[in-house]
Amino acid sequence: MSLVSTVGLAVRAVQIKLGLLTAYDTFWPAAVRGSRLLLNGQVSAFTRKLFNELPDARETIPVEANRSGPPLFLAGHVLGLGGYDHLVLNILKGLTNSGVNVCRDRRSCFRKQLVPIEIRPSEMRRRAHHPRLAVAPPYLLQRYSPDRHTAAFTMWESDTLPPGSVEQLNRCGLVIVPSSWGRRCFRANGVRVPIEVVSLGYDPTVFGGTPSLARGVRQTVFGTAGALDEGGLRKNVQRVIDLFRQEFPSERDVRLRVKITPNSPRVETHGDPRVEVLDSHLTPSELADWYRSLNVYVNASAGEGFGLHLLEAMACGVPLISSRFGGVGAFFDARVGYEVRSTPIEASNAIYQGMWSDPHNGDMMTCMRQVYRDGETARLSGIAASQRAAKFRWEDTMRKLVIALIRHNFIRHPQSTALSPVS
């Protein structure tokens, strides 16, 4: 490779890096971390991070999608495997397989290694009359300058939307939320435009089966997951650890498996060897295996816009210990798990305001003890949970989404080939 080609490749990699960093306002934190590496003489580590988008940069020949028909621009990011990125990826797959001519909004950033070539969106310039689907939390919609030709697929976890987001939502022609609770919440906050409910789903080829606990071993395994940053603190992972240790101070035949994100602050296990912490990114199949290693999933979250991770656990035959506050009530109740009471409290968080839920500690501990004492009932609850989850699959999500977009004139009736989830 010539020097000119090498320099061009390096410049392209840096451009991609900058685009990814600005997608979620992480440029300045990354700049600070990079400066620290240089000040500490870690030049090689700095260089490795700066040019770690070389695999995408080397893909110099653009993949031109051979699609026709009116375009629908997709605004959203695919930079990781979870959260809104997961939703954008599945929407991209479902709409493309439905025959929709999906185009990338210029503000969207995709890691090409996460988006299969056959579903990558077309590249074209959006005109003022072109319809667009923006998939983002309410406080990030302003980045896409929404207009009446924009449909927003979004959700929120407390009963009060972030400052300024109602104005952005009312500029859209359509708002899509994943639960009836979300629709009531958005209406109460002053969203006046049409609102459709399209529940999220899971991939049955990945999340399914039954818990894979070792047969003949008398051991009860609890699980919980979440980040410990400002957004993830609502998951109350530390509270689950503390309640587990309080309810089972000395029992040896219990385990609590905790999954947190790699960059998350550490949880306090108090040196308890029964608390196993996993702090790595998991592929969907690895995550399904993790769910299937549990007897029950303990959800102490203060609020969920939907709770896709909870639905995925249920699909794997794992019942929940959870309240029904927020979007969780769309698919969970006492018939498919262990329902706990909750009390409305003020959201004390740097991101959220308004009211959300405080699950009852005593109820959660009582439910954990019930699972410990009666594993057979927990197993039957897991079967019921998987049957309930079967009503929420990605193919159902995409069918409802396509219908909603047709109803509000964002797309024409597409020639559907398949409505399958991302594998």
Report all structural domains of the chain as residue ranges with CATH numbers, in order of start.
3-57 (no CATH), 71-201+394-407 (3.40.50.2000), 220-389 (3.40.50.2000)
Where would I find the H helices in 24-152?
27-39, 43-50, 54-57, 83-97
Does residue 249 carry a pLDDT above 50?
yes
Does residue 420 carry a pLDDT above 60?
no
Q: What digits encode the pLDDT tens for the residues 199-245?
A: 999 999 999 988 876 555 689 999 999 876 555 578 999 999 999 99
Residue 60 to residue 224: CA distance in whole angstroms: 42
pLDDT at 74: 97
What residues contact 147, with CB distance under 8 A and at least 6 apart?
A: 128, 171, 172, 173
Residue 252 to residue 364: CA distance in whole angstroms: 20
Does residue 132 carry a pLDDT above 80?
yes
pLDDT at 23: 57
Residue 34 to residue 221: CA distance in whole angstroms: 41
Q: What is the mean pLDDT of residues 256-262?
A: 92
Residue 61's pLDDT band (cuts 50, 70, 90): very low
Radius of gyration of the chain (CA): 23
Question: Are 238 and 256 a contacting pair, CB within 8 Å?
Answer: no
